[in-house]
Amino acid sequence: MTTGYGNDLARVEHLRKHGAKTAAFSGWALDRDFIRSSSVDEAFPVSDHCGFDELTEFVKKCDPETVFTTHGFSKEFALHIKKSTGIDAQPMVSRQRTLDHFC
């Protein structure tokens, strides 16, 4: 089972056995299968990050020399940034935790 509980899974399961309900807050809550796949009792469609258009606008306003993309469609987004802004953009490689790879 994949959950967002992380190291708290045992504590959450203990609370559930005693009647506690669980909830998730995510933009993915708009998907009808999200509650089942997240193993929560209720889900609320609230996102704490920006989407594609907002990310693109953020990059344009920052006008960086280089953008390193990660998570999700990192290769596609890096290509979009290069084509739409002319700013150098590179996806971070799988399992990469630092930018040392690019230095």
Domain ranges of the chain: 6-44, 52-102
Would you say 3 and 39 are in contact if contact means Cβ atoms under 8 Å apart? Answer: yes
pLDDT per residue as tens digits for the range 81-93: 999 999 999 998 7
Beta bridge partners of 25: 44
pTM over 0.85: no
Mean pLDDT of the chain: 84
Residue 51's pLDDT band (cuts 50, 70, 90): confident
Cα angle 50-67-85, degrees, rounded to a multiple of 5: 85
Query: What is the maximal distance between C-alpha atoms in the chain?
Result: 56
Q: Are 24 and 40 in contact (CB under 8 A)?
A: yes
